Amino acid sequence: MSLTICSLNCNGIRSAGRKGFGEWLQKHQPDVLCLQELRAWPEQLDADLLQPAGYHTHWVNAEKKGYSGVAVYSRRPFDRVVEKSGLDWGDSEGRFLRVEIGDLVVVSVYVPSGSAKSERQTLKYEYMDHLAELTQGILNEGRPAIVCGDINICHKAIDIHNPKGNAKNSGFLPEERAWFDDWLAQGWVDTQRVLNPDVAGLYSWWSNRGRAREKDLGWRIDYLLATPDLGERAREAWIERKAGLSDHAPCFVVFDGGL
């Protein structure tokens, strides 16, 4: 028995749908799928995207149409759902969803990008600090948990192409990387990196500019972070670079034991 969890920033669920999301999901059938950047409201979707066969789904939308939004798809029904993180502006942007499936806590989160302007970088730092408080609280509950999502930070030099050239860019700033160190020090296990410790080019996102994907000029900014007890059960993790659903790639981890 195993438990497969996947995370994907779909850069628009309708766009991903046109690129074969439904067929991809039925092919892989993860037990739990966390989505970010939905950029749609449920009433804008066909049933095969909103409620795929074999899945229970829950969405949190941004107040602004065509922007942000997160979801969790699960093969088992949800026992509890928490739609708000407690940070008002972040919740209005639809960036956080916590679900409980049996004993397992699953969080789908979409940390803001700070690349657009300095004001957004300031908000990003606020969101990061708020998220760290939330995840410490989850750890304190003592339940198996996983935090999945687009964190918009590359942790180490191995996680980004040209680390020297990107050192002053949002997503690889020293302050962001130091925060990530502190975040992991809470006890979270970076499953992708723990199971692939020396693999360079373990990227999950490529810019749409400058033929970045073709040249493999990538960033690893999508993560599946597990509590220590769950992390010990992780046996395999990979990034499906050629899925072709988004500018991000689906990130998978498989754990021994089921839900």
Active site residue 181: no
Residue 234, SS3 per DSSP: strand
Residue 236, SS3 per DSSP: strand
Residue 88 buriedness (CB in 10 A; 0-12 / 13-18 / 19+): exposed
CB atoms within 10 A of CB 84: 15
Alpha carbon 91 to chain centroid, angstroms = 16
Nearest to 171 by CA among 98, 90, 113, 91: 113
- Select which of 150, 159, 190, 222 is catalytic: 150
- Nearest-angstrom CA–CA distance, 108 and 251: 13
Q: Which residues are catalytic?
A: 150
